[in-house]
Amino acid sequence: MPKILVCYKWVLDEQDIRVNAADASLDFSRAKYKISDYDKNAIEEAVQLQESQGATIDAITFGGPAVKQSLKDLLSRGPDKVYYLADPAADKADGHVTAGVLAAAARTKGPYDLIICGEGSSDAYNQQVAPRMAARLGLPAITFVQSLKLEDGRIVATRKLGDCTEVVTIDGPAVVSVVPEINKPRIPSLKQVLAAAKKPSEEIKIADLGLTPAQLTPKTVSMTVKGFVMNRKNILFKEPAQADNVAKLVAALAKEGVC
């Protein structure tokens, strides 16, 4: 029976974030948290493999103290158990730190036949955690996966690469990152939400992972994040003939250097 580990991130819901018009700074005061949308695809894919292969699923997350709020939602989506690392260091962690922490934790709780991540997170979307985890664990990495199968201990993945696809077949274990096209995550039923309260969760302390200070020091530091504010010209073309409107639009775009 395959043993799967799925990684997820607890992020601020982007639809609740507001941009201050005065300086384009971001207002998070009303923002609630959610499981990263891309990670919902990773969770769903693990559950579908469980349904077809009889696999067991562990989940793991690294975040600040607020990450504890994610456990019930995560468990209602299908995994059998969740490990969480709730540490303030996660607030400033980059892909280097996050991958190192998750890889060290996975090593202590594994081995796993398959580790599944979302292609990126809803907040940063740096697309680094999965390949960095694979490097730390000494495993193959398969990225941009839009179709995934387990066949007799082998992993068969179809990768989305620009205007073409690539089919990769390797012997497990491996770390894969999936794109949103791979599936449509289900909404947990009331029965699943109630059952989640009975599933186990376990906290892992970063101090117990044996990581060095260098491994816990970010390689990149975000100084500030500003929202994008679009200033529209509000030019309307109201000629009776649509052809005249199109001609004026093209002329206006050409004047702006757009076309």
Q: What are the pLDDT digits (tens) for 156-199? A: 999 998 889 999 999 989 999 999 999 999 999 999 999 999 99
CA distance 226 to 99: 26
Q: Give the model's confidence band at 130: pLDDT under 50 very low, under 70 low, under 90 confident, else very high.
A: very high
Q: Where are the domains of the chain?
A: 3-216, 229-259
Pairing mode, strands 141-151 and 10-12: unpaired
pTM as predicted: 0.84
Contacts of 143 (CB under 8 A, 6+ apart): 119, 127, 130, 131, 159, 176, 177
Say if residues 56 and 50 touch (Cβ distance below 8 Å): yes
Number of H helices, E strands in the chain: 6, 13
CA distance 17 to 11: 12
Please check the confidence at residue 48 and state whether its pLDDT lies above 80.
yes
Share of the chain above pLDDT 70, in %: 100
> Measured at the alpha carbon of residue 119, what is the angle toward residues 115 and 121, in degrees to the nearest 5?
105
In this structure, what are the phi and psi dihedrals at residue 114, rounded to the nearest 5 degrees? Answer: -155, 135
**Out of 20-29, 83-92, 160-169, 179-188, least confident range:** 20-29
CATH class of the domain whose range is 3-216: alpha beta
Say if residues 121 and 36 touch (Cβ distance below 8 Å): yes
> Measured at the alpha carbon of residue 136, what is the angle toward residues 147 and 71, in degrees to the nearest 5?
65
Q: Give the model's confidence band at 259: pLDDT under 50 very low, under 70 low, under 90 confident, else very high.
A: low
CA distance 118 to 7: 8
Question: Stretch 215-242: mean pLDDT, rounded?
Answer: 83
Q: Residue 143's pLDDT is what?
A: 95
Please check the confidence at residue 230 and state whether its pLDDT lies above 80.
no
